[in-house]
């Protein structure tokens, strides 16, 4: 799986990139979460407007997920659940777009990292966290372990500074990405 994420301001450039039909054989806007607008551009504008009270110049997180083989909907959903748990994005407004390019499907996800109270979700070390996550996903997929059946512990420790599924504090709770060590 290839994935990459960036923090940015959102806006028209991101909308143009995600809705390009000249570079993609297929573009499908997927259902959004946490926004009132009905179409993609107004949804993105709404997300950006909601971040005005946050203390960041880059309030939008954009992730692209490009699996090496065609994924089922359940695989995309599980990937998204685990990614949102790692980065504390569960419940944040989210947009999604599916692209088919060179006969391969991939998805783009867009979140706001500014919470309703104006605080900002900590995205420190996001590249290293994404790489560990990707490596774990790939190794579990290669070993035949189904990540669709793995359950994350609840509640997730997103309120604690610096606690992620890769940190020692997470592991002290008895949690691991290894399916045999995760709590039921």
Neighbour-count burial of 140, counting CB atoms closer than 10 A to its CB (0-12 exposed, 13-18 middle, 19+ buried): middle
Is a pLDDT exceeding 70 seen at residue 104?
yes
At 128-144, the pLDDT tens digits run 777 776 776 665 654 44
Nearest Cα residue to 149 out of 177, 109, 111: 177
From the number of C-beta atoms within 10 Å of its C-beta (0-12, 13-18, 19+), residue 51 rates as: buried
pTM of the model: 0.75
pLDDT digits (tens, 9 = 90+) for 26-84: 999 999 999 999 999 999 999 999 998 888 899 999 999 988 889 999 999 988 888 89
Q: In angstroms, rounded to a whole number, what is the distance separating the alpha carbons of residues 46 and 83?
A: 23
Q: Which domains does the chain have, with CATH numbers?
A: 2-153 (3.30.930.30)
Query: Across the beta sheet with 94-101, what order do the strands follow?
Result: 2-8, 60-66, 104-112, 94-101, 26-33
For the chain, the residue count is 184
Mean pLDDT (the chain, rounded): 78
């Amino acid at each position: 799986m290839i994935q990459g994420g960036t923090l940015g301001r959102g806006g028209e450039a991101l909308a143009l990139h995600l809705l390009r039909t000249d570079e993609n054989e297929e573009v499908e806007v997927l259902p959004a979460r946490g926004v009132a607008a009905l179409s993609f551009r107004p949804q993105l504008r709404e997300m950006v407007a909601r971040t005005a009270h946050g203390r960041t110049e880059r309030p939008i997180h954009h992730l692209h997920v490009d699996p090496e083989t065609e994924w089922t909907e359940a695989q995309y959903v599980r990937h998204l659940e685990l990614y949102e748990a790692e980065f504390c994005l569960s419940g944040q407004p989210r947009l999604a777009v599916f692209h088919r390019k060179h006969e391969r499907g991939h998805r783009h996800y867009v979140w706001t990292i500014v919470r309703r109270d104006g605080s900002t979700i900590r995205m420190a070390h996001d590249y290293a966290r994404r790489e560990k996550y990707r490596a774990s996903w790939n190794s579990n997929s290669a070993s035949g372990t189904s990540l669709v059946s793995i359950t994350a512990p609840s509640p997730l420790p997103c309120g604690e500074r610096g606690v992620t599924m890769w940190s020692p504090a997470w592991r002290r709770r008895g949690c691991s990405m290894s399916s045999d060590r995760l709590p039921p």
